[in-house]
Amino acid sequence: MKNLFVLVFFAVTLVSCSSVEQHRTAIEEVSTMWTEMTPKVEEMVQNCTELNTAWGAMADMVTPVSKDMDEVVVNEVEALNMEYKDNAESVSAMMEEMTSYVASMKEKGAVVQTMVDGLAAGKIEGDVLAMTAEAKTMMEEATMKMEEWTVKMGEYSAAATQMASKMMPVDEEATEASEM
């Protein structure tokens, strides 16, 4: 009976270890993807934070409409102010999207770390296939989001530069001097 117990224990241990080992490649792949993507996403969030700050700083440059303005000037100022507002709100919304996405990445990152730790310990709780599949899906999604955010960041950065030059107050004396 004692030999049977030892044999069963050995068999269970062997199956348990091989169960973890069969997921080694998938877990290591996910861990590597995660390790490479996380700093890229964090850098993107930092860049977006800086862009959002730049757009916020331009709020002081918004020209208020006054009664003594010509109707054409009022229309131009209102259009410029609306363009500023739309862009600033879009950058802010993108910042919120990134922040939310990073929070969900951190949650999933804890799962990835649990799998890595479980691999090292020789025992992983839960459905490893599902966990690795979810993590891979999130990394694929992060790659697509990074591409999308990179394009948007470029557009909003260019718009910020254009907007800043449009919003700069014109020195009338300098304009008159250049016309002479």
pLDDT for the residue numbered 155: 96
pLDDT tens by residue, 134-169: 999 999 999 999 999 999 999 999 999 998 888 775
Can you read off the two tokens belonging to residue 124? 């992983």
The whole-model pTM stands at 0.75
Question: 144-147: which pairs have CB atoms within 8 A and are 24 or more residues apart?
Answer: 145/101, 146/37, 146/40, 146/41, 146/44
Q: Which of 151, 155, 114 lies closest to 132 in space, CA to CA? A: 114
pLDDT tens by residue, 62-116: 888 888 888 888 898 899 999 999 999 999 999 999 999 999 999 999 999 999 9
In this structure, the number of other CB atoms found within 10 A of the CB of residue 105 comes to: 21
Band (35; pLDDT cuts 50, 70, 90): very high
- Asked if pLDDT for residue 174 goes beyond 50, the answer is no
Q: Which of 154, 37, 47 lies closest to 95 in space, CA to CA? A: 47
The more confident residue out of 51 and 60 is 51
Q: Taking a C-beta distance cutoff of 8 angstroms, is the pair 153, 44 a contact?
A: yes
In angstroms, rounded to a whole number, what is the distance separating the alpha carbons of residues 123 and 12? 12
pLDDT for the residue numbered 1: 53
pLDDT tens by residue, 120-140: 999 998 899 999 999 999 999
The more confident residue out of 147 and 6 is 147
